[in-house]
Amino acid sequence: MIEMTRGDTLRVRFKAMSGDSEYQYKEGDRLFFYCRPRSEKDNARLPTITKEISTATGELHLEPEDTKKLNANEFVYDIELQKANGDIDTIINRADLKLYPEVY
């Protein structure tokens, strides 16, 4: 689960695993973070946030403007690996993200 305050910066590293070992990204592989409200009625099944994650670092970087205008809410996210050969692997399935309001 990721917990963060709306408008903050978040940096989290992710690894893709292949069995018991870390998957070695190949040229043309792409990683994506998709996030939307937990409640189905709060969205039209479209991602609220879509960010590409660098395969060089595996680091998701959410900037303040990515969440600043979102309502504090409970969200779900997944991380998808789109391989150069066309295969798609979801490496994190439907995990929770809680966005808290600022105090000020």
Q: Is the pLDDT of residue 34 over 70?
A: yes
CATH number of the domain bearing residue 27: 2.60.40
Residues 53 and 11: beta-carbon distance below 8 Å: no
Q: Of 44, 102, 96, 45, which is closest to residue 70 (Cα–Cα)?
A: 102
Predicted structure pTM score:
0.88
**What is the pLDDT at residue 46?**
67
**What is the pLDDT at residue 101?**
95
pLDDT band at 104 (very low <50, low <70, confident <90, very high): confident
Q: Of 67, 65, 76, which is closest to residue 101 (Cα–Cα)?
A: 67
Q: In total, how many domains does the chain have?
A: 1
pLDDT digits (tens, 9 = 90+) for 36-47: 998 877 666 667
Domain range for 68: 2-100
pLDDT digits (tens, 9 = 90+) for 50-103: 999 999 999 999 999 999 989 899 999 999 999 999 999 999 999 999 999 998
Mean pLDDT of 12-33: 92
